Amino acid sequence: MIDIHCHILPGVDDGPVTIQESMLMAREAVAEGISTIIATPHHRNNKFENKKNQILEHVSEFNSLLDKENIPLTILPGQENRIFGELLEDFQKGEILTLANSDYLFIEFPTSSVPRYANRLLYEIQTEGITPIIVHPERNKEVLNNPDILYNFVKNGILTQVTAASVAGYFGKSIKKFSLQLIENNLTHFLASDAHNTTNRTFALNEAYNLVENLLGIEYVYLFKENAEFLVNNQSITLEIPQPIRRKKILGLF
């Protein structure tokens, strides 16, 4: 299994602090059935900065450690970019890293909003031949309140990644429900762990896949697992036609 979103590198962000903690995560990943992880440190999220070259160095160091310890896990380089106005300029400067050297790029929105310039910026990224993947849209308040924002992005060829723990219910009932709606409506293309540690932000990938299989059908499981492979190989992923989320106004929940 491939995990395309994970904070496993030691001491670079709010993931593991020590090498020992990273190793614990690595062992847990292997136990979970994961063979390949894209390490995606936070970049420019107001707290952490991890430029391309620094990440590449960390990844190769960590891979040597895994090798030494005989842990059957491969780390590929990636980056979780908080959206910012000069992202494309920084990309051209060589500070931004796509996922596993592919033409897919992680973009994170702030927790509560979708910046007004997102539309234009994502389009400009696309015109550079890069496909943006919006990470965990299910945890963004503005998207949760108005899913049509996401529908319009996906309709325009932008991809999204839902977090396994969201599906499993670790971020609460409404985020779980919304995650399943995103999957059902073809508004997401990848499931990934976004794991940060082995305690409160773990992998939960199998748990999420089992839930998806039981609630929505095994075809989604195949689709997501295959898409992760396509991404790592820089191939086109499978796109289903997205549907807007129509909410019944019962109980005044939304």
- Determine if 138 is a binding residue for Fe ion (CB under 5 A): no
What sign does the CA torsion over 166, 173, 156, 229 have?
positive
Instruction: Give the nearer residue to Fe ion in terms of CB position, either 6 or 114.
Output: 6
Instruction: Give the nearer residue to Fe ion in terms of CB position, either 138 or 194.
Output: 194
What is the chain's alpha carbon radius of gyration, rounded to the nearest angstrom? 17
- Closest contact distance (angstroms) between CB of 194 and Fe ion is 4
- Closest contact distance (angstroms) between CB of 38 and Fe ion is 11
- Closest contact distance (angstroms) between CB of 246 and Fe ion is 30
- Closest contact distance (angstroms) between CB of 214 and Fe ion is 26
Instruction: Give the nearer residue to Fe ion in terms of CB position, either 97 or 185.
Output: 97
Main-chain phi, psi angles of 210, to 5 degrees? -65, -45
Q: Which of residues 146-205 bind Fe ion (CB under 5 A)?
A: 194
Strand order in the sheet with 36-39: 2-6, 36-39, 74-77
Q: Beta strand 80-82 with 42-43: parallel, antiparallel or unpaired? A: parallel
Size of the site for Fe ion (CB under 5 A): 2
58: Cβ–Cβ under 8 A, 6 or more apart, which residues? 9, 10, 12, 39, 41
Instruction: Give the nearer residue to Fe ion in terms of CB position, either 79 or 102.
Output: 79
- Determine if 95 is a binding residue for Fe ion (CB under 5 A): no
CA distance 118 to 150: 11
Amino acid at 71: I
Main-chain phi, psi angles of 114, to 5 degrees? -120, 115
Q: Beta strand 36-39 with 74-77: parallel, antiparallel or unpaired? A: parallel
Instruction: Give the nearer residue to Fe ion in terms of CB position, either 3 or 32.
Output: 3
Distance of CA 132 to the CA centre of its chain: 11
Q: Which residue is nearest to Fe ion (CB)?
A: 194
- Closest contact distance (angstroms) between CB of 12 and Fe ion is 12
Q: Which stretch binds Fe ion (CB under 5 A): 23-31, 76-84, 93-101, 179-187?
A: 76-84
- Determine if 80 is a binding residue for Fe ion (CB under 5 A): yes
- Residues near Fe ion (CB under 5 A) are 80, 194
